[in-house]
């Protein structure tokens, strides 16, 4: 029976992240094994278990425990790529695990497509689409928070013109309250920024284009790797 979704992330704490950093900093294999077994192993186990049940990655032709152990082993292979200060460890390893599971579920889908009735294939396709969309929304929310914080701290270095600073600060404020804006599209953003700043569209466009380009480049990196890398 499928487990209920568990939103609790406290099994993967700051202590877990600190342990991963220590693990990567030491080259002593005995020390690494101790750190992993005492502070990381159970967190990886629970993360993968929650990932499988939350997003219903059940379309595998091997037993559940084999799938879980395979994903945990993959996380171990990628542990050295996590960099402190470039995003949270929980987000990074969640993305790594989800991407691995999605890829292998897609492979199972193509096998299923050749063997099953169309209704079965369509049901599976719908599940995969829901997983991909849900995963994207979660990653986007996490990235947006990191992006706003980065721009907020570096605003004066990115924009030196006073008008540009005013526009950029207004855009960031809209990003912060984005959940309260129903029509968060390009036209609405321009109208709201114009109302907040009193500046003309051409003043706004220059700043928005710069922020848009940075956002796109940085988000693609974050989506692929789980690491928040600045431009």
Spatial contact of 15 and 27, defined as CB atoms under 8 Å apart = no
Spatial contact of 156 and 163, defined as CB atoms under 8 Å apart = no
Rounded Cα distance between 22 and 220, Å, is 28
Structure-block tokens of residue 210: 């710069």
For residue 145, which of 179, 170, 110 has the smallest C-alpha distance?
179
Q: What is the mean pLDDT for each group of 10 consecutive residues in the chain (231 residues)? A: 46 93 94 95 93 80 86 92 84 85 66 49 47 61 87 92 90 78 62 81 86 87 79 73
What domains does the chain contain, in order, with CATH numbers? 14-115 (1.10.1740), 143-225 (no CATH)
Structure-token match 């960099």, residue found? 83
**Cα-Cα-Cα-Cα dihedral of 140, 142, 144, 148, to 10°?**
-170
For residue 128, which of 97, 149, 107, 155 has the smallest C-alpha distance?
107
pLDDT confidence of residue 114: 47
pLDDT confidence of residue 39: 95
pLDDT confidence of residue 8: 46
pLDDT confidence of residue 181: 58
Structure-block tokens of residue 170: 């207004």
Residue spans of beta strands (DSSP E) within 71-183: none
Q: Collect contacts of 154-162 with beta carbons under 8 A, ≥24 apart.
A: 158/210, 159/207, 159/210
200 CB contacts (<8 Å, ≥6 apart)?
A: 194
pLDDT confidence of residue 198: 85
In the chain, DSSP finds a helix count (H) and a strand count (E) of: 9, 0
Rounded to two decimals, the pTM is: 0.51
Rounded Cα distance between 169 and 154, Å, is 11
pLDDT confidence of residue 183: 53
Structure-token match 């169309």, residue found? 118
69 CB contacts (<8 Å, ≥6 apart)?
A: none
């Amino acid at each position: 029976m499928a487990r209920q979704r568990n939103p609790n992330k406290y099994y993967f704490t700051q202590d877990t992240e600190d342990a991963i950093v220590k693990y990567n900093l030491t080259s002593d294999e005995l020390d690494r094994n101790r750190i992993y077994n005492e502070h990381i192993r159970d967190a990886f186990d629970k993360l993968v278990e929650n990932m499988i049940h939350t997003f219903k990655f059940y379309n595998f032709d091997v037993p559940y425990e084999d799938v879980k152990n395979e994903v945990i082993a993959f996380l171990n292979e990628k542990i050295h790529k996590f960099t402190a200060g470039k995003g949270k460890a929980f987000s990074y390893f969640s993305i790594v695990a989800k991407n691995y599971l999605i890829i292998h579920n897609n492979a199972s889908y193509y096998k299923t497509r050749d063997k099953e009735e169309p209704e079965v294939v369509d049901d599976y396709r719908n599940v995969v689409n829901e997983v991909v969309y849900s995963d994207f929304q979660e990653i986007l929310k996490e990235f947006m928070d990191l992006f706003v914080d980065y721009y907020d701290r570096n605003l004066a270095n990115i924009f030196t013109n006073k008008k540009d600073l005013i526009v950029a600060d207004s855009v960031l404020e809209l990003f912060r309250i984005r959940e309260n804006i129903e029509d968060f599209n390009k036209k609405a953003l321009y109208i709201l920024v114009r109302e907040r700043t009193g500046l003309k569209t051409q003043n706004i466009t220059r700043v928005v284009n710069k922020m848009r380009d940075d956002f796109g480049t940085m988000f693609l990196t974050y989506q692929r790797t789980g690491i928040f890398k600045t431009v």
